Structure 1
Amino acid sequence: MLPDLNRLKVFYHIFNEQSSTAAAKILNITQSGVSQHLKKLEDELQTRLFTRVNRRLVPTTAGCELYEIVKSFMVSLENGVKHFDKSKDTPSGLLRIGAPSEFGTTYFPTILAAFSREYEEVSFQLELADPQTLFKMVSTGDLGFAYIDILPIFLDTADRMKTYRIEPLLDEEFILACSKEYYEENVADGKYEKLTQLSFISYRTDLALFRSWFNLHYGSEPAALKLILVADSARTIISAIEEGMGAGIIVSHLVSEQLETGSIVQIRPTKKKLTNTIACVGLKNKELSLTERCFQDYFREKLTNLNGLKCLK
């Protein structure tokens, strides 16, 4: 049977101070309390741990052996407690965050680097994935929280609202765009029939976004579209658009510079906008740590200054 931890702690301080009075002051207990703990420990071990020499407690051979056993544990314990005390006031430790691939690749490196310079005790694990994967990783605790594309169906699903804390961060606008030359040759009049005959560049073979765009602006969805390129990369789609391969749907803030210079032109028959919300998602029953709260506030503030993004209040 292992000795009582409190008695070992008392022994550790008596050994360091070679005085029960000094140990009592450190432990904030009475001297008689220290003496009782030491006596009970010696009774448990059935050996003397100290002898008194000129008012000093000198460790016996058994006392020295026990000290070597106890010392490393006590030092680690005290350092660990100091770390936890420090972390109450200053962000520290590992942050496990998820994000959509293109959003995470575009904005996270800059913001993580800035946060790391300000809070050197924080490290990061960043998972870039689709919404379903990120939801699952949050639910299993593999991620502390994630920034996720939130379609309206997610916000309207009762089970998700009961399970997750969903805080909208920003609205993205999906735009149909093409190069200036392609626009002038194929799109200028903006008629529905002509637009449905364009060559399209798609993020996936799923035409849901294109159908949503046509339905939003024309109230009708094409049965089929000519996909000239399918690529699982927003940057590839942007490059293909710039090269004049066809029209593609892309998030507007990823091409803000190209739209400003006119190398990419938005196809917009009406003033309506096709939007997507990115939200910060975590478990409702999970209390945020100081580091998580600090990062979420920091991320929201810094994101506002990038590419003219405006975070939701």
Structure 2
Amino acid sequence: MDTLESMQVFVRVVELGSLAAAARSLNLSPAMVSKHVVHLEKRTAARLLNRTTRQVRPTEAGASYFEQCCAILRRVEIAEAEAAADTSAPRGTLRITAPIEFGNLHLPAMIATFLDRHPGIDIVLDLANRRVDIVQEGYDLAIRIARDLDTSLVGRRIALSRFHIVASPAYLEREGHPVEPTELARHQCLAFAVPQPWTTWSFTHDGRSQQVRVSPRVLSTSAEALLEAARTGVGIGLLPSFVCGTALRNGDLVSLFPDCDCGSLGIYILFPHRNLLPLRVRLFIDFLVEQLGGNAEHDPWDVRV
């Protein structure tokens, strides 16, 4: 059997923790997957996997062998890509997962530009606000937006998105413009419902921190729904700039307290813990960094920039 192919199969088995799952992922029969593993165990004269009825886990020798296989396979892929660089463009399918709002509002235009630059690359884009396991589910990279990042994956922050307290001109004409953040307690507010209702809004101004408890007129799991509710004058929202930035720039919304620090989110790129990345992944990471300004401390959607 081809040892390199057997390594690819073995890596997939360890990543998915199942011979059957690896077989489905690689479009092979479970028997063929097992043969590949047996082939490697014979070559190494070592037991690489511990098998139970429910799960497959690498032995100590198998875990070490897995890391070496990953490095070898990445080096082979990069070597092939670099060898072909003079005669062909980068090729392959790039599987990306990203939050729904960021994906809908920003990724289509970026992806169109990226594909125009690299016609040999195809993209599978999965938009989901759940915590996606990019190793188990076979993604090349994930875009995550969070205050802090807690993950075993390799990641880098590529930008910031600051929160703004926003309302439409129509709402402010009807209900009045609050002068101090504490006045928000008597206004109709729009708030996120996950992971729990955002009923306490925090601010920092001139080094002084304060919190205001609001009574949401609308609670939603969707930032796009809250954006539209704010634009149509339903109430005042606390939204990140990547969601509300365009509406602020074109005058559909007003930032009520632009001098207040209402917190921020990090824009992160995550990828599996591997020493060497496929060329198409490296190209897309560099492209996103370029598109968002190339500075992890920069907010590309901030109206104050």
User: Which structure is larger by alpha-carbon Rg, 1 or 2?
Assistant: 1
Unmatched 5+ stretches in structure 1: 3-80
In 1, the alpha carbon distance for the partners of 2:233 and 2:91 equals 48
- Counterpart of 1:266 in structure 2 is 255
Local SS of the residue matching 2:131: helix
Post-superposition CA distance 1:203-260 (Å, at most 9, x none): 326566552x33545734345x322222333332222112211011222243334323
The answer (yes or no) to whether the contact 1:187–1:195 under 8 Å persists in 2 is no
- Determine what percentage of the aligned residue pairs are the same residue: 20
* In structure 2, C-alpha distance between the alignment counterparts of 1:286 and 1:141, rounded to whole Å: 20
Match of 1:190 among 179, 191, 194: 179
Residues 93/189 of structure 1: CA separation in 2 closer, same or farther (3 Å cut):
closer
- State whether structure 2 residue 135 is matched by structure 1 residue 139: yes
Q: 2:268 aligns with which of 279, 283, 296?
A: 279
Residue 180 of structure 2 corresponds to residue 180 of structure 1: no
* Aligned position for 1:12: none
Q: Does 1:200 align with 2:198?
A: no
Residue-by-residue CA offset, 1:93-140 (whole Å, 9 max, x unaligned): 11011111111112211122222222222111112122x523x2x232
When the two structures are superposed, what TM-score results if normalisation uses the length of structure 1?
0.60
Displacement of 1:280 after TM fit?
Answer: 0.6
Secondary structure of the residue aligned to 2:190 is strand
CA distance in 1, matches of 2:106, 2:247: 18
Structure 1 counterpart of 2:102: 103
Q: 1:19-71: CA deviations, max 9, x gaps?
A: xxxxxxxxxxxxxxxxxxxxxxxxxxxxxxxxxxxxxxxxxxxxxxxxxxxxx
Q: How far has the Cα of 1:184 moved from its partner? A: 4.2
Distance 1:187 1:219, change over 3 A: farther
What is the distance in 1 between the residues matched to 2:234 and 2:187? 10
For residue 290 of structure 2, what is the aligned residue in structure 1?
A: 301
Trace 1:1-313 onto structure 2 (pairs within 5 A). 88-89=84-85, 90-130=89-129, 133-134=131-132, 136=133, 138-140=134-136, 142-152=138-148, 154=149, 157=150, 160=151, 163-204=152-193, 209=198, 211=200, 213-216=201-204, 219-223=209-213, 225-268=214-257, 270-285=259-274, 287-304=276-293, 309=300
Hey, what's the Cα distance between the residues in 2 that align with 1:269 and 1:101? 26
Q: What SS does structure 1 have at the residue aligned with 2:125?
A: strand
| Native 8 Å contact 1:176 1:267 kept in 2 | yes
Letter in 2 for 1:309: P
Indicate conservation of the 8 Å contact 1:99/1:129, yes or no.
Answer: yes
Tell me: CA distance 1:216–1:187, structure 2 relative to 1, closer, same or farther (3 Å). Answer: farther
Q: CA RMSD in A?
A: 3.2
Secondary structure of the corresponding residue to residue 278 of structure 1: strand
Task: Classify 1:87/1:107 alpha carbon distance in 2 versus 1 (closer, same or farther; 3 Å).
Answer: farther
| Residues 179, 265 of structure 1: 8 Å contact kept | yes
Using the size of structure 2 for normalisation, the TM-score is: 0.61
Cα pair distance change 1:206/1:93, threshold 3 Å = closer
Q: Distance in 2 between matches of 1:295 and 1:107?
A: 15
Distance 2:83 2:107 in 1: 23
Distance 1:201 1:87, change over 3 A: farther
Deviation at 1:149, TM superposition (A): 1.2
- 1: distance between equivalents of 2:301 and 2:247? 19
Q: Give, in angstroms, the shift of residue 299 of structure 1.
A: 2.3
Matched residue type, 1:190? V
Paired residues of 1:88 and 1:290 also in contact (CA < 8 A): no
Q: Which runs of 5+ in 2 are unaligned?
A: 2-76
> 1:92–1:227: structure 2 CA closer, same or farther, 3 Å change rule?
same
Question: 1 or 2, which has the higher helix percentage?
Answer: 1
For the 8 Å contact 2:245–2:301, the answer to whether it is kept is no
Q: Give the number of aligned pairs.
A: 217
Q: Is the 1:175–1:252 contact (alpha carbons within 8 Å) kept by the matching residues of 2? A: yes
Give the letter for the 2:145 counterpart. Answer: D
